[in-house]
C-alpha cells in the first residue's frame, strides 16, 4: 500500500472516531470524501448525509448538491426564500465516491447514459422512478426546478462533476479523458451553459484537503487605527472604516470565493438584486463625492481573541451577524481597486457569550423588515433546548455549524430543523409533512408553536432525535437493497412506525416519548418494521392509481393508512 493510502486510512479512522460513526467501509469513505471536498462551504454534516442518493438504481451518482448564491437548498420548500434574477448564480455538484484503487471508465459511462434522462425537462416523477431510486429522483426534480427558475430569471448555471477514488494518485488513460470530454459536451448542450467541469480526487488530493484547515484567525486592515471601546466586564468593541478594496480582500478565500462560513450566524442569506441591493450595487459602481459609509448602515462582526497591530485587527472565530447584503454586494461588484478610497463602517464586538450574541443579532437586524421566523434561533426556548442537550451530552446546533466548528461528534449534533422534523414525525404524527415541507415547519407560526413549547419536558425533544438517529443507523445496516430503495423516502415514517410498535399503541403521547425505553429499539425490531412498511407501501400503491413512492411519502392519507393498519400488540398489517 502506498504512503498516500496509508496516511489516508489513518485520517479516515480519526474522522470516524471524532464523529462516532458506525458505517461500512465504502459508506465511511463516501462521507469522509464529501466532507473534505465541501470543507470550505457553509454546510453541515446533516446536509451531506441528505445529499447522498446512492444504492440500487442510482445511475452512477452518489451525491447531488444544489447551491443558489452559495446557499445550499435541499427541498422545493426552500425555494420560496430566493429571488431569482440575472445576478443569481446556481451551482449543481454531482459526485461519485468509490473506495477503489483506480479511476474507471464505467463511472463516466453510467453518467453519459443517465444525465440525458435526468436533465430532460419533459420527464415527470413517475417516469423517472421507473429507472432511478426515489432519493435520486427527488434530488433530480429539485435540480430541474432550480434550473428552470434560474434560467427564467436570467441567472448563471454551472455543473461540477466530482469523481473520488482511493487510488494513490490520479492516473487516467486517453479513453477516460475522451469519455469525460463527451460527458461535458453532452451536459453543456443539455444545460445550455459552458460552465461544466469534471474533477478527479485520489488519496493524494483527499489528504491535501484533509490537511487544509479552515482559517479561524483573520486580519482586517482599517483605514485608520480603529477606536477601541470597552464596557466594564462585558467586552470590547472596535469601530472604524475599512476601504472597499480591503474589505473585499477580507471576505475573499484562498480559492477566490467569498468566505460564506463567515455568515453562518447571519439570519439572512443573500437576497440577490432586490431593491436595497440594487442601490448598494449602484453606489459601489458609481463613485461620487459621498463616501460609501455615509450611505450605508455598515457591518457588525462578532469575534474573539483580538490582536491589534497599528491599523490591522487580527481576530478569531469571525462571524458577520449584520451586513450580509452589503458584504455580498461589495464582493460581487467592487474591482478591488486600491485607489478607490471609499470605505465601509465596521463594528467588531469581542464576545463569546451566546445570549449576548443573540441580542446583538436581533437588535442589529431590527431596523429592517425581517420575518420572525428568521430569528427563531435567538428565542429563549431555543437557547434553553441548547443548554438541555448540552447537559445531556448532546449538541443542539441552533446556530449553524457552531458545534461542528468546535469538533463535536456529528452523530450527537442536531439542527433546529432536524429537531422540528423529529417532533413532527413522532409526537405530532405527521411524518409526511416532515418529509414534504421541512422549512415550513419553522416558517409558519402555527406549525412552529405546535412543535416548540417551553412548558413541555425537553427530554422528549432529545428522545425524538435519538429515535430518528437510531432508525437511520438501522436503515444503513439493513441488507435488502430492494426494500431500502423502496423505503428511502419513508425514514420519518419508519421512526413513527417503530415508536408505535415499541409503545404497542398508535396513540403516541408526549409522556410516552419522555419515558421511552430505548432498550426496545434493536435491529431485529427495525427489520420487522421496515419489512411491514414495504408491504404496506406496495398495498397502497396497488390500491391507489396515479401515485408513486415520492408523492405518497408526502401524503397524509398514506400516514393514515399506515396507522389504520396497526393492530396493537400484533404490530402492523
**Nearest alpha-carbon partner for 96 in 73, 65, 142, 121:** 65
Kind and range of the H or E run holding 335 = none
Q: Write the DSSP assignment of 498-564 as a string of letters.
A: HHHHHHT-SS--HHHHHT--GGG--HHHHHHHHHHHHHHHHHHHHHSTT--HHHHHT-HHHHHHHHH
Buried b (16+ CB within 10 A) or exposed e, 95-105: bbbbbeeebbb
**Dihedral of CA 522/528/529/534: which sign?**
positive
Per-residue pLDDT of the chain (573 residues; tens, 9 = 90+): 678 888 999 999 999 999 999 888 999 999 999 999 988 777 888 999 999 999 889 999 999 999 998 888 999 988 887 889 888 999 999 999 999 999 999 999 999 999 999 999 988 899 999 999 999 999 999 999 999 999 999 999 999 999 999 999 999 999 999 999 999 999 999 999 999 999 999 999 999 988 875 566 899 999 999 999 987 666 789 999 999 999 999 999 877 888 877 887 665 555 555 555 677 777 788 788 889 999 888 999 999 889 999 999 999 888 888 888 889 889 988 988 889 999 999 999 997 676 777 777 766 655 444 444 456 777 889 989 999 999 999 999 887 777 887 788 999 999 999 999 999 999 999 999 999 999 888 888 899 999 999 999 999 999 999 999 999 999 988 888 889 889 999 999 999 999 999 998 888 999 999 999 888 898 888 998 999 999 999 999 999 988 999 999 999 999 999 999 876 444 454
DSSP-derived pairing of the beta strands 235-243 and 343-350: antiparallel
**Nearest alpha-carbon partner for 493 in 439, 451, 442, 433:** 433
C-alpha to C-alpha distance for 142 and 245, rounded to whole angstroms: 37
Which class for 570: exposed (0-12), middle (13-18), buried (19 or more C-beta within 10 A)?
exposed
Task: List, in order, residues 6 or more apart from 162 with CB less than 8 Å away.
Answer: 37, 93, 94, 95, 96, 198, 199, 201
CA dist list (Å): 528 to 33, 252, 444, 482: 33, 52, 36, 15
C-alpha to C-alpha distance for 437 and 75, rounded to whole angstroms: 8
pLDDT (0 to 100) of residue 253: 83
3-state class (DSSP) for residue 316: strand
Q: Write the DSSP assignment of 319-330 as a string of letters.
A: EEEE-HHHHHHH
pLDDT (0 to 100) of residue 268: 52
- Residue boundaries of the structural domains of the chain: 3-211, 220-370, 376-570
Site of grid cell 471536498:
37
Rg (CA), the chain: 25
Site of grid cell 404496506:
536
Task: List, in order, residues 6 or more apart from 492 with CB less than 8 Å away.
Answer: 421, 424, 425, 431, 432, 434, 435, 468
3-state class (DSSP) for residue 451: helix
- Neighbouring-strand partners of residue 301: 320, 348
Q: Model-level pTM?
A: 0.78
C-alpha to C-alpha distance for 453 and 427, rounded to whole angstroms: 13
Site of grid cell 446583538:
360
Amino acid at each position: 500500500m502506498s504512503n498516500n493510502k496509508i496516511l489516508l486510512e489513518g485520517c479516515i479512522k480519526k474522522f470516524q472516531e471524532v464523529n462516532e460513526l458506525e458505517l461500512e467501509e465504502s459508506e465511511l469513505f463516501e462521507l469522509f470524501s464529501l466532507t473534505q471536498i465541501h470543507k470550505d462551504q457553509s454546510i453541515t454534516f446533516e446536509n451531506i448525509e441528505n445529499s447522498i442518493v446512492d444504492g440500487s438504481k442510482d445511475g452512477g451518482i452518489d451525491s447531488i448538491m444544489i447551491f443558489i448564491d452559495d446557499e445550499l437548498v435541499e427541498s422545493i420548500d426552500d425555494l420560496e426564500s430566493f429571488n431569482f434574477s440575472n445576478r443569481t448564480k446556481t451551482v449543481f455538484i454531482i459526485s461519485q465516491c468509490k473506495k477503489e484503487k483506480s479511476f474507471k471508465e464505467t463511472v463516466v459511462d453510467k453518467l453519459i447514459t443517465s444525465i440525458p434522462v435526468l436533465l430532460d425537462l419533459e420527464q415527470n416523477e413517475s417516469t423517472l422512478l421507473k429507472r432511478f431510486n426515489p432519493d435520486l429522483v427527488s434530488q433530480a426534480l429539485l435540480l430541474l426546478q432550480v434550473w428552470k427558475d434560474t434560467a427564467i430569471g436570467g441567472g448563471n448555471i454551472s455543473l461540477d462533476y466530482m469523481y473520488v477514488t482511493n487510488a494513490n494518485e490520479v492516473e487516467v488513460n486517453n479513453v477516460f479523458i475522451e469519455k469525460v470530454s463527451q460527458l461535458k459536451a453532452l451536459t453543456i448542450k443539455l444545460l445550455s451553459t459552458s460552465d461544466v467541469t469534471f474533477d478527479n480526487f485520489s488519496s493524494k488530493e483527499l489528504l491535501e484537503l484533509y490537511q487544509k484547515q479552515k482559517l479561524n484567525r483573520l486580519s482586517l486592515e482599517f483605514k485608520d487605527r480603529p477606536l477601541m471601546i470597552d464596557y466594564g466586564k462585558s467586552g470590547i468593541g472596535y469601530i472604524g472604516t475599512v476601504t472597499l478594496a480591503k474589505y473585499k480582500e477580507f471576505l475573499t478565500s484562498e480559492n477566490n470565493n467569498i468566505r460564506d462560513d463567515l455568515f453562518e450566524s447571519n439570519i439572512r442569506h443573500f437576497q440577490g438584486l432586490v431593491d436595497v441591493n440594487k442601490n448598494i450595487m449602484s453606489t459601489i459602481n458609481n463613485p461620487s463625492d459621498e463616501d460609501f459609509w455615509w450611505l450605508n448602515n455598515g457591518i457588525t462582526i462578532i469575534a474573539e481573541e483580538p490582536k491589534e497591530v497599528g491599523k490591522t485587527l487580527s481576530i478569531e472565530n469571525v462571524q458577520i451577524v449584520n451586513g450580509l447584503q452589503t458584504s455580498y454586494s461589495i464582493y460581487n461588484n467592487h474591482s478591488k481597486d486600491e485607489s478607490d478610497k471609499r470605505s465601509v463602517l465596521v463594528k467588531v464586538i469581542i464576545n463569546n457569550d451566546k445570549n449576548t450574541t443573540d441580542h446583538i443579532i436581533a437588535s442589529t437586524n431590527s431596523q429592517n423588515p425581517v420575518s420572525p421566523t428568521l430569528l427563531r434561533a435567538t428565542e429563549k426556548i431555543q437557547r434553553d433546548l441548547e443548554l438541555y442537550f448540552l447537559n445531556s451530552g448532546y449538541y443542539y446546533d441552533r446556530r449553524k455549524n457552531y458545534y461542528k466548528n468546535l469538533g463535536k461528534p456529528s452523530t450527537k449534533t442536531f439542527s433546529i430543523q432536524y429537531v422540528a422534523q423529529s417532533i413532527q414525525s413522532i409526537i405530532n404524527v405527521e411524518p409526511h409533512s416532515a418529509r414534504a415541507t421541512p422549512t415550513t415547519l419553522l416558517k409558519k407560526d402555527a406549525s412552529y408553536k405546535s412543535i416548540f413549547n417551553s412548558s413541555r419536558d425537553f427530554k422528549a425533544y432529545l428522545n425524538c432525535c435519538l429515535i430518528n438517529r437510531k432508525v437511520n443507523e438501522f436503515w444503513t445496516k439493513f441488507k435488502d437493497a430492494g426494500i431500502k430503495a423502496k423505503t428511502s423516502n419513508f425514514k420519518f415514517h419508519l421512526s413513527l412506525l417503530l415508536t408505535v410498535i415499541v409503545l404497542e399503541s398508535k396513540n403516541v403521547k408526549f409522556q410516552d416519548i419522555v419515558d421511552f425505553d430505548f432498550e426496545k429499539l434493536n435491529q431485529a425490531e427495525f427489520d420487522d418494521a421496515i419489512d411491514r412498511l414495504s408491504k404496506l407501501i406496495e398495498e397502497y400503491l396497488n390500491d391507489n392509481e396515479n401515485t408513486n413512492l415520492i408523492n405518497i411519502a408526502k401524503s397524509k392519507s398514506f400516514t393514515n393508512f399506515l396507522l389504520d393498519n396497526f393492530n396493537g400488540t400484533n404490530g402492523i398489517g
